[in-house]
Amino acid sequence: MTSVAGAARDGDRRNVSDVVGVLVLGACAAWSLITAAVHDGRPEGVLLALLAVAAGYAAGRISGALLPVAAPCAAALTALGLAVGLPRLAQGPEIVAPLGHAGATAALLTLAAGAACCAAWTTGSLVLRLLLRLLAVGIAVTSAALGSASGLVTCLAVLLCSLAAGRMRHRGPGILGLALAATAVSGLTWAVAGNAVPGGLAESLRGQLTPHRIDLWHDALRLAREDTALGVGPGRFGELSATAGQSLLPDGKPHSAPLQMAAEQGVTGVVLLAAAFCWLLYALWRSPRSTPVVLTAGAALTALAAIAAVGNALSFTIVSVGAGLLAGLATAHPLAEEPAPG
């Protein structure tokens, strides 16, 4: 009777988080269509990203239930192969174009490290667990070999958070900490865009982020202030940004997901973007998986949010699919009982 009651509670938790996810993603899609209709925008990119997240999440839930160890391991190897094998995601000699490609590479490597660590916590074999953690270390080394400093930092952060998660009895404080970390990075991005950072720190960040990227952020904040309610319309930043127009290889993006939403969809778009991330954390909190798996996936998704706050990673469909897939893997209900973390 106890096991039946526990299964019923797990089912109720999953149903609630799934309903919340449908409502949030549906609201994001509807709002992009509304702002596009008002300003003659192009919502295709937003709709494709939402579809990619939903498809990845569904695939993760199914594969995670059937193959709780093999599925995240295969996801990690696939993401690693894509980061290394796709030339458009690797850094090149150009000055402007790698802003987006470098972020996508770092995002894929971060998701790969998160998937490998999730697989490590899922298996009951100590040898396989060690091999999977060595795979995560290898992914971090690959980031360094590809010249992705941000990927190296985020992969190591995910690995360390995963190891620390094994000592946590309750996932609530960990989930709260991840939410605060994502908020801090987004807040710093807004502060830099609004010239609200002290001089010394501002100069240091300007050197790290490049003046071109910060000028794009200034343009995004200016456009957001011109129409706070609705923004300028999805896909129209490149048309209205002077900095983007002067770029040798413009991509029409401000290279910051929160600032892009603020510029193109107004304050409601920013709220919906934050709601989508909070839904992922909420789904992890309600997940029937073990706490180490949940917090490892949460750390990888938070690292992805940080990369997206200062880059263009979410404009790559494969990254959106990977984010949804990892979240689905970490919220799936395996058909077999998971081994206890040790």
pLDDT 10s digits, 85-118: 875 554 333 333 344 578 899 999 999 999 999 9
pLDDT reading at 330 higher than 80: yes
pLDDT at 342 over 70: no
**pLDDT over 90 (residue 210):** no
> Residue range 230-240: average pLDDT?
91
The fraction of the chain above a pLDDT of 70, given in percent, is 89
At 193, list the tokens: 């865009």
- Non-local CB neighbours of 269 within 8 Å, separated by 6+ positions: 31, 32, 35, 231, 261, 262
For 142-175, the pLDDT digits (tens) are 999 988 899 999 999 999 999 999 999 899 999 9
Q: How much is the pTM? A: 0.91
Specify the pLDDT at position 224. Answer: 93
Average pLDDT, integer, range 316-331: 96
What type of residue is 302?
A: T
- Contact between residue 207 and residue 334 where contact means Cβ atoms under 8 Å apart: no
Among 81-95, 289-303, 313-327, name the one with the lowest average pLDDT. Answer: 81-95
Cα 5 to Cα 83: distance, rounded to the nearest angstrom = 44
- pLDDT for 75-85, tens place per residue? 999 999 999 88
CB 305 within 8 A of CB 330: no
Give the long-range contacts of residues 248-252, CB within 8 A, separation 24 or more: 248/94, 248/95, 248/96, 249/94, 249/96, 249/97, 250/96, 251/97, 251/100, 251/312, 251/315
Measuring CA to CA, which residue among 154, 151, 104 is closest to residue 255?
A: 104
Q: Output the average pLDDT for the chain.
A: 88
Query: Residue 262 pLDDT > 50, yes or no?
Result: yes
Give the model confidence (pLDDT) of 25-65 as tens digits.
999 999 999 999 999 899 999 999 999 999 999 999 999 99
